[in-house]
Structure 1
């Protein structure tokens, strides 16, 4: 959660974008930071910051106001990362209490979240991890499809169009007697799937970080062993026995 002061500061920061049409809205920024916070590995601000402003950063002013806004953004990002590692970074919407305004905010949030996922898309691609079970790979794929389908519905229409009618009716008991009803039902299905999709992606990230931690420990142990062997090989044995 952002404080009122942080919200105001970040909105003012976004308002300084040289090309407002290319920069994020505040809701997109929230989703973007959420996605970045759960991205495994160490991220440099130079990798993700320009995306917020469409690669055209605000000019730093002599009074230091922009720098202060920038620092606020970094602090919020760092706090989100800490929340993720403390298992406190949770999906921020209640799908049972969405009015039209909140729904619009949700779609903007997902758009920003998708930008974060796309920025490091190789980390989320199931085909990059041959150790995943078929079920795990499918869960990861469907999670990505959920995000993509909410941002660009036409990208996932083929998947549902090719779904056998029996399977479609199982997922959508109301059926789809028109293309509009079908598209609406698909969107409702994707929205309902969103919290689980976020959770699946978070679990994938934690798994990658756990693997990286284990590999790092192995490297350190092996390095220590090699150093020990090298030290022993450099020892010169001297016979201090008395001469006869």
Structure 2
């Protein structure tokens, strides 16, 4: 369970990180270990010039001499190659025994998870692809659940939102010692997620191996990562959880709920592997006598990804699903739309609509239940035929009646919806680049158009709670 790092290498890397002029904007040693772990298992070549950008802040470390610089950079590359070699040999494992952690060791785990997540964020198209239909159904669910566990450990507020309203018997089935009346529930929730971390990491590694085999189309998986021996660092990228900040200033800042985590001596019950993704949001859930669909709605082409995860009763019609998506994404329902499912289009009939044709089916006549297998693993929702905002709706899992809500519930999501009439996804992405450069000649006009309050990275628990109140009234 130990990482492929020697005591000498740890000492050199710790000194290397300490050279940063801005420690608050630089990885800690544990964050770096999680980061290199994530880089190593990612089934794609990530050049050092890209991944080294994330380690330090805007100001790079100042070395005392060329010899020192060569020693420290050389050590970093040695460790990177050791992680890569261990990943190819299937000997890279989570470097913590969660069940034997002592109180003073929790911070190291949270830091490791943060670094790991930053590494995954470098390749969102791999780790959260728009279409996972080529994967085995069970693995798809487990990958989604594993990513949710990582999210919950990084952002305690998201963790709490996931567990609110979750029936106690579900938790007791997975973790025999769970007490729904525990006064310190946030700490208990984090303990459950921590106990799930080893299996979550293993499932992500399994997914990476399978993805790598498919990507290489028969080529030996040993060629998936190429060791590099030298590189130059660049600018530091923002925290993926809250745009522009590192762990200490954002998701990873100290949280009192992390200080009181305890495990029983027996550890989790034998079924305690993964909490499989059924994590309701802030709205209270009332059981509905029928299955529900857990859907992930992703705005196609958005980078970083803009998405929402929603739990929807199976009796929901496509017309109602349209209203739910509008509310959850943040659109204003000011334009036409349609669903595309297995080559057929579904919309509201309108004889005066030049976009409407007789080959479209009436979306009011079809529910998620009646469409059933036709939904496959994903389908499309298009809004605004001019800007053409295309959303991929992934069916992550079918939730049994005992856990189904009486109305749609927004579980979580990431990043703000584009403003209406902003020109489509390509134009929106270009606008984000302009907004990131205050010196750009079009910055003032673009900021005026988007509004002073627009923040692309913003989507928090208050937004989720507000949307869930709206969903309850639909």
TM-score (norm 2): 0.43
**Residue matched to 1:237:** none
Question: Partner of 1:127: helix, strand, or coil?
Answer: coil
Higher helix share: 1
- Tell whether the 8 Å contact from 1:172 to 1:185 is kept in structure 2 after alignment: no
Check if 1:125 corresponds to 2:128: yes
**Residue matched to 1:137:** 140
Q: 2:49 aligns with which of 35, 46, 49?
A: 46
Report the Cα distance in structure 2 between the residues aligned to 1:60 and 1:214, rounded to whole angstroms: 44
1:49-106 CA distance string (max 9 Å, x none):
0111034332465533123211110111011101100011011111232112222211
Question: Partner of 1:128: helix, strand, or coil?
Answer: coil
**Residue matched to 2:216:** 213
Q: Which runs of 5+ in 1 are unaligned?
A: 218-244
- Tell whether the 8 Å contact from 1:126 to 1:137 is kept in structure 2 after alignment: no
1:26-175 correspondence runs (5 A): 26-59=29-62, 62-171=65-174, 173=176, 174-175=178-179
- Tell whether the 8 Å contact from 1:10 to 1:73 is kept in structure 2 after alignment: yes
- Tell whether the 8 Å contact from 1:33 to 1:80 is kept in structure 2 after alignment: yes
1:1-25 CA distance string (max 9 Å, x none):
3112111111111011121110011
Moved more, 166-175 or 95-104: 166-175
Q: Which runs of 5+ in 2 are unaligned?
A: 221-474
Report the Cα distance in structure 2 between the residues aligned to 1:48 and 1:200, rounded to whole angstroms: 23
**Residue matched to 1:176:** 180
**Residue matched to 1:232:** none
1:157-195 CA distance string (max 9 Å, x none):
3332242344244345533225x5221221111111101
**RCO (CA 8 Å, sep 6+): is it higher in 1 or 2?**
1
Higher strand share: 2
- Tell whether the 8 Å contact from 1:23 to 1:53 is kept in structure 2 after alignment: yes
- Tell whether the 8 Å contact from 1:91 to 1:195 is kept in structure 2 after alignment: yes
- Tell whether the 8 Å contact from 2:40 to 2:87 is kept in structure 1 after alignment: yes
Report the Cα distance in structure 2 between the residues aligned to 1:29 and 1:127, rounded to whole angstroms: 28
Report the Cα distance in structure 1 between the residues aligned to 2:93 and 2:124, rounded to whole angstroms: 21
Aligned-residue offset at 1:143: 0.4
Check if 1:21 corresponds to 2:24: yes
1:19-57 CA distance string (max 9 Å, x none):
111001111111111111111111101111011103433
Report the Cα distance in structure 2 between the residues aligned to 1:126 and 1:175, rounded to whole angstroms: 36
- Tell whether the 8 Å contact from 2:139 to 2:207 is kept in structure 1 after alignment: no
Report the Cα distance in structure 1 between the residues aligned to 2:10 and 2:217, rounded to whole angstroms: 38
Rg comparison, structure with higher value: 1
TM-score (norm 1): 0.81
1:91-145 CA distance string (max 9 Å, x none):
1111232112222211111111111112222211153322124322210011011
